[in-house]
Structure 1
């Protein structure tokens, strides 16, 4: 028996990294999982990696018409949505003086606008007692140089969890956030570009700052997501679950 048997779940940004890892775990726990991605080739590759139990929908969370189409598909095929993992997001490195308007708008459109309207448009499909998980970050609690735009979007995600948990408590809908630390994903390593040595140095630098002495892996975040999606966390809402090796705690 899986912890999510019979559940229908949506993982936005489910084609790589944390999203893909969580989608795989949700399927193994018995859920039917919808995943989204902006690029068809990556979406197809993710579906192949997940296997039976996943449905892919090409969708950009920053485009409301894409979200409308996504939830129409879920409604027609499944009729409800028991678990929402709002994970789609982007990050980049840029000093305050160098951030462009285009970069600012792109980051907020995907990370904040996309998350907000994903939740709003999911509401009609969420039954009483549904669970919602938002991807925040340790960056929401820290002042990380050259990431101020991204940091602010993750602080918004953290407050969305608090606000929506309060607003939806009467329906028994639980809303929580996961705040990963440095997790070895294509997105994290991509901050160092394509150079192998630069990527190794990035990982080593992160490891030196983490009390547990290493970067995390996707499965560790997926375990936290299963906990929040399942009845194991039935008395947990509005919370922030750090999966960061102690980085923001010690």
Structure 2
């Protein structure tokens, strides 16, 4: 079976967390070269590499830098995976890593390969929560949650953004978290207007594209009561 993302580059922001690391591993299994970004991307590299080495792939022996490679067979070229330390609450670091600016902040300059480069898929999965009611949450903690969950995504911009059920249903003791995740949902129509003229694909769906969605809905046990809008962006026009 052909790998869906062979020859593609996927960047996952927040790749050191449970969900983010699994997303990165999934793209690697489908043939993508993955850039994993997060506060502990370098210190957690051994664990992340183990996840990137899918069952069909042999673990790679990588040099002590920010890159490793995997290969699905002896005949296929190795895929390079990159690890970049990134604090998404630091706006300067985000801009340096994704814009490739020469004037990198101290946080972004901690690795030699601290520039993401062109990407085919970008996943914003960085997020932190809270466990205290609003009136007992320090101002600094509120700012850290908003900066991490909402501002970072706005600065990176989006292809896939990971929100939360609390964005629409709320949750006791998670006011800032719920508000930041709701902001991600409300960010969508703003971006929709900004990229309106480029959004609709201008063609009908390929049968395989519909089939892929059907397989996903049938195989993902957690996708209950789930509606996938397969319209090539027409509903956003």
Q: Deviation of residue 55 (structure 1)?
A: 1.2
Alpha-carbon spacing, 1:36–1:172, altered in 2? closer, same or farther (3 Å): same
Q: Deviation of residue 8 (structure 1)?
A: 1.3
Aligned to 1:50: 52
Q: Deviation of residue 21 (structure 1)?
A: 0.7
Q: Deviation of residue 173 (structure 1)?
A: 8.4
**Alignment partner of 1:27 is 2:28:** yes
Q: Based on CA coordinates, which of the two structures has the bigger radius of gyration?
A: 2
Q: Deviation of residue 134 (structure 1)?
A: 0.5
Q: Kindly tell me the number of residue pairs found equivalent between the two proteins.
A: 173
Following superposition, which runs of at least 4 residues in structure 1 exceed 4 angstroms of deviation? 219-223, 236-239
Hey, what's the Cα distance between the residues in 2 that align with 1:234 and 1:56? 35
Q: Is the contact made by 1:20 and 1:46 (CA closer than 8 Å) also made in structure 2? A: yes
Higher relative contact order (CA 8 A, sep 6+): 1
Aligned to 1:74: 116
Q: Is the contact made by 2:132 and 2:173 (CA closer than 8 Å) also made in structure 1? A: yes
Aligned to 1:86: 124
Q: After superposition, where does 1:1-250 map in structure 2 within 5 Å?
A: 1-39=2-40, 40-51=42-53, 52=70, 53=79, 54-71=81-98, 72=100, 73-75=115-117, 80-119=118-157, 132-172=159-199, 220=220, 235-236=232-233
Q: Is the contact made by 2:199 and 2:234 (CA closer than 8 Å) also made in structure 1? A: no
Higher helix share: 1
Q: Is the contact made by 1:18 and 1:221 (CA closer than 8 Å) also made in structure 2? A: no
Return 5+ residue gaps in structure 1 as ranges: 120-130, 175-218, 240-250
Q: Is the contact made by 2:22 and 2:51 (CA closer than 8 Å) also made in structure 1? A: no
TM-score scaled by length of structure 1: 0.61
Return 5+ residue gaps in structure 2 as ranges: 54-69, 71-78, 101-114, 202-218
TM-score scaled by length of structure 2: 0.64
Q: Is the contact made by 1:47 and 1:55 (CA closer than 8 Å) also made in structure 2? A: no
